Amino acid sequence: MSRPARREWSTRTAKDRQDSATRAALLDAAEELFAEQGCDQTPVGQIAERAEVSRATFYVYFASRAEVFHALAHRVRDEITRVQREAGRASADPRVVVETSIRAALAVYARKARLLTVIRHQALHDPEAAALWRELVDVPTEIDARFLADLRRTRGAEPAAGDTVVATVVTAALLHLAEEVAADPSSLDRTAAELVAVYGRLAGLDGD
């Protein structure tokens, strides 16, 4: 039994590398359908049909609908952490880092608002989804907390509260405000600017 499983996994892993466009199409299709009708109400066949591939092709890339759900959650998490890290390399000026990362993160959260709602609702009754949601929230928060700790050490900043508390407040604000930006995309610049101003005060950058 173990050999076929290893061959199947090896085949799927190789296929992921060789034809990532098909995998991405399946993820995009699943994201649309989950947002439209929920995860539990979306059968594998619908995902394959929306991606314009066969059901058999779906199973080349994913073992189950749950695996797609996990992959989508991780894709959002990775996109958020990527913009945070790229912002950190963009400038030595912490204000530029804050402005760049806040705006980029808000844009990502707004674009993924419907999927995030699905994950959050799924987390209410699904322990695995709850763990995914915690990871979505905790990983960006931990990165931000490290940034704040670095501000204390290198800039003498005095955040309004502990690093983790400030980072947690900012993550919660991003998630909440992203829903408003999703409803009104024209508000992105204004909302980002206001959140950057709030972050500056919370992080103790005003007197820098």
CATH class of 67-203: mainly alpha
Taking the model in full, what pTM does it have?
0.82
**pLDDT tens per residue, range 138-179:** 999 999 999 999 999 998 899 999 999 999 999 999 999 999
Round the average pLDDT of the chain to a whole number and report it.
88
**pLDDT category, 4, cuts 50, 70, 90?**
very low
Residues 47 and 26: their CA atoms lie apart, in Å, by 7
Q: What is the DSSP string of 152-195?
A: HHHH----SS-HHHHHHHHHHHHHHHHHHHHH-GGGHHHHHHHH
Length of the chain in terms of residues written: 208
Residues 13 and 81: their CA atoms lie apart, in Å, by 24
**pLDDT tens per residue, range 28-54:** 999 999 999 999 999 999 999 999 999
Q: Does 67-203 match 2-63 at the fold level? A: no
**Residue 66 CA to chain centroid, in angstroms?**
17
* Assigned CATH for 2-63: 1.10.10.60
Once rounded to an integer, what is the mean pLDDT over residues 51-78?
93
For the chain, what are the domain ranges? Answer: 2-63, 67-203
**Residue 125 burial (C-beta neighbours within 10 Å; 0-12, 13-18, 19+):** exposed
